[in-house]
Amino acid sequence: MDHVYAECPWVVPPDAPELLALFREKGRPAFVRSRTVVNFGEEPTAYLVEEGLVGTFAGGVGKYERLIVLFPPGTSVGAEKSIKGKHAIKPLIARALLPTKVLVMDAAQFKRELELDPILCIAALKSFIRHDDAKIEGLLMNDLLTVPQRVALMVKVLFQALNMPLTALPKCLPKTITVTELARLVHSDRAVVSRILAKWVEEGIVVTHDGMYFFSNKLNQILGDEEV
């Protein structure tokens, strides 16, 4: 499957080493339980994901159902908002899809550190461009692909983000990434995704055990290729 902006849609690639070093020197550690929601669109705060997985979602009050991008370990959440001038509230939330460890910096402090170090600033800006590439690529996939293709691609991408690429041996996603969560990620709804998964079980593409879905590289049959 050909991609336009990023080789792995939805998933932000690792940030520059200089940016990681800044958070690890200046940031304060925090732990976020899975499924915890942070209104980071309202908060002047920057985070570095050290462990776990975070998704950002856009929407309206009480209904943030549209995934923008996924942040695996080694990526910063909300940091680019810190350099866009006066803080403005945005209709965005961050949801921890797994138990997640982060390093936290105040946005004003983050901005000052970049202003004091031009090399760090350039490295951060390059990282933020890669963030935008992953966001745009994911939005394109959610617009151009059918729902079954989106589900198959998202499952492959999630396993990649977990450093568990799909093979011939079936494996399941973490329990916190439910069918409802999958539906949010691919801009669909639970009933539609459930029907897709049930069809794949009937066709032998996916197997179930104890109520869990197990996926393998048979998902390539849906995508028609061997690459994410």
- What confidence tier does 227 reach under pLDDT thresholds 50, 70, 90? very low
Place of tokens 């929407």: 59
Distance CA 172, CA 155 (A): 10
Q: Are 150 and 188 in contact (CB under 8 A)?
A: yes
pLDDT of residue 81: 80
Helix (H, G, I), strand (E, B), or coil: what is residue 61?
Answer: coil
* Residue 84 falls in which region: left (phi positive, over 0), alpha (psi -120 to 50) or beta: alpha
For residue 207, what are its two tokens? 């197997």
Structure confidence at residue 2 (pLDDT): 58
Q: Please count the other Cβ atoms lying within 10 Å of the Cβ belonging to residue 215.
A: 21
Res 226 pLDDT > 50? no
Q: Within 10 Å of residue 172's Cβ, how many Cβ atoms?
A: 17
Which among 73, 48, 34 has a CA at the least distance from the CA of 176?
34
The burial of 196, by beta-carbon neighbours within 10 Å (0-12 exposed, 13-18 middle, 19 or more buried), is given as buried
In contact, 156 and 228? CB cutoff 8 Å: yes
Kindly report, residue by residue over 107-154, the tens digit of the pLDDT. 889 999 999 999 999 999 999 999 999 989 988 888 889 999 999 999
Contact 31, 98 (CB under 8 A): no
Start-to-end Cα distance in the chain: 7
pLDDT at 84: 73
Q: Which domains does the chain have, with CATH numbers?
A: 17-142 (2.60.120.10), 146-223 (1.10.10.10)
Give 160-198 pLDDT, tens digit per residue.
Answer: 999 899 899 999 999 889 998 899 889 999 999 999 999
Q: Are 141 and 150 in contact (CB under 8 A)?
A: yes
At residue 228, the pLDDT reads 39
Interval 44-91: pLDDT, tens: 889 999 999 999 888 765 566 778 899 999 999 988 887 776 656 777
